Structure 1
Amino acid sequence: MQRTVTRVGVVGWGAIGRTVGQVLAQGRLAGAELTCVVDNRPLHDIPVPQATLEQAIEECDLLVEAAGQSFVREWGTRVLEAGTDLLVASTGALTDDEAAAKLLAAGPGRVYFTGGAVGGIDLLQAARGLGGFRSVRLTTTKLPATLEQPWMDAELLDRMRTATGPVEVMRGTARDVPVKFPRSTNVAATVALAVGDPDRVEVSVVADPAAVRTRHVIEADGDHGSYRFEVDHVPDPGNPATSRIVPHAVLRGLAAITGTAGQIL
């Protein structure tokens, strides 16, 4: 029996989208083919035609979002209502309850999420069936320059830029933090989705000039057990705010969606 090929469009040709698109264009993921690329900048030397979002929705079976939280909020439901599936990388958009509810209720297209730069998500999801957690903590440590934001005052920026050691730049919940760091803390939202409650997840964002690698530490405790996961990622050389592993997590998600890879279920 011949396998159906999923026509994929990539939205956002940055560190994540470019890697995903190149793998698809090279035919390295059986069952999926790159049909078009959507980006708000003129692109050159891309392996397939550049399309408008409307064209991509019409031509593709599935869109890979690699464009940021604002795209998910503005276009996510429209994509799904048109009958096109959507794989979301910018999970931070889902910490807005109203936006999340609309996206999850939309259809007939289906929405998928990727764990991105963090592990242990399957275990956290499984533990929800045992009653959830008393506490969940996430500590994310990155280079100071990757965490600078327009809302930061001069005092905080100076502390980050002159730091000789770790500096906590924000502490809050997984609902609050992704809004303040829209390109740097999707991991917080991913953990919140797994746990089922963004207000339950306490997040600390740390700037460290010695953070050659991006570190995420998850600690969760409940009546059923205690868990600790720690990952240290090499940043993408073209965009240090993104870990190199993220596009490959997206590709693993695509393989699962298209049924082209064995999965541990």
Structure 2
Amino acid sequence: MGEVTGVAVVGRGSIGGVVIRALESGEVPGARLTAVVDLGDSLDDALAVADLVVECAGQRALAELGPRVVAAGKDLLVVSIGALTDDALHERLRGGPGRLFLTSGAIGGLDLLRAAALMAPLEKVRIVTTKKPATLGVPHAAEPVEVMRGPAREVAAAFPKSTNVAAAVALAAGSFDVVEAVVVADPAATLTSHVITASGPAGDYRFEIRNRPSEQNPASSQVVPHAVLATLRDIVR
């Protein structure tokens, strides 16, 4: 039998809860749940028994705990990618000695965007996210309304629970400055929609993703914890 990776999960909400249950039931070969870090729990105790920490607790938790994880030489898998709009935090997390991993979350196509950006800088990238109004702070909207439009860095910071995807696209594109993010509240939306368009020397691209919202947390999508588990499988393979 190969070496087993000890995994600590930070947060037990709509994302962390699914990840915890999957690890407990042995759904990720080569990984074993060794700790869960929740409000008031000791990160130091978790680091003593874990090789890798999965952050599922939001941008504030990542900013507070993430640097301690990598500084302790433990690997870190990040869900709250929007926190990486803070360049100083991003550099601290990349500084090691622990390794930094990111999950694709609720969107796809990032590998192709990354490849296109490596060939030559992308000239224009846009992501339009459409969700139910209540998840965006405009519960009384009676028709589709554009809540915010601007650089991905600003939009991801303004909607930390809803726009990790904007940060993920910007990181794949290689620049927060080239990506415009648009957030739309639509009372008729039954699915969460992300439409990504990009153009550059490598070509023109369009991806449309329509996810079912999490029943426990409509600001997130049902598929997110499973994206985390897919990334975790790749790490411990």
- TM bracket, shorter-chain basis: over 0.9
What is the TM-score of this pair, normalised by structure 1?
0.87
Q: How many residues align?
A: 237
Question: Which residue number in structure 1 is paired with residue 22 of structure 2?
Answer: 23
Which residue in 2 is equivalent to 1:135? Answer: 124
- Determine the structure 2 residue equivalent to 1:34: 33
Q: Can you give the 5+ residue segments of structure 1 that lack an aligned partner in the other structure?
A: 42-50, 149-159, 260-265
Match of 2:156 in 1: 178
Structure number with greater Rg is: 1
Residue aligning to 1:88: 78
Q: One-letter code of the match for 1:222?
A: G
The equivalent residue for 2:100 is: 111
Cα distance in 2 for partners of 1:38, 1:245 equals 22
Q: Aligned AA for 1:72?
A: L
Task: Provide the C-alpha distance between the structure 1 equivalents of 2:105 and 2:6, rounded to a whole number of angstroms.
Answer: 22
How many Å apart are 1:59 and its aligned residue? 1.0
Please say if 1:251 is aligned against 2:233. no
Q: 1:173, CA displacement in angstroms?
A: 0.9
Counterpart amino acid of 2:225?
Answer: P
Distance of 2:63 and 2:170 partners within structure 1: 17
Which position in structure 2 is the counterpart of 1:14?
Answer: 13
Amino acid paired to 1:128: A
Equivalent residues in 2 for 1:69-80 (5 A)?
A: 69-80=59-70
What percentage of residue pairs aligned between the two structures are identical? 54
Runs of 4+ with deviation above 4 angstroms: none
Q: Alpha-carbon deviation of 1:214?
A: 0.3
Of the three residues 145, 149, 167, the one matched with 1:167 is: 145
Residue in structure 2 matching 1:99, options 69, 89, 94: 89
Cα offset, 1:84, TM superposition:
1.1
Q: Conserved in 1, the CA contact under 8 Å of 2:2 and 2:30? A: yes
Does residue 193 of structure 1 match 2:183? no
In 1, are the aligned partners of 2:133 and 2:140 still within 8 Å (CA)?
no
Q: 1:208 aligns with which of 170, 186, 195?
A: 186
User: 1:145 and 2:123 equivalent?
Assistant: no
Q: CA deviation at 1:82?
A: 0.6
Specify which of 235, 242, 249 is matched with residue 220 of structure 2: 242
Deviates more, 1:113-122 or 1:96-105: 96-105
Q: Deviations over 1:36-69 (max 9, x none)?
A: 111116xxxxxxxxx5211111110111000011
Return the offset for 1:233: 0.3
Q: Structure 2: state its 5+ residue gaps.
A: none
Shift, 1:75, TM fit: 1.8
Residue aligned with 2:220, SS: strand
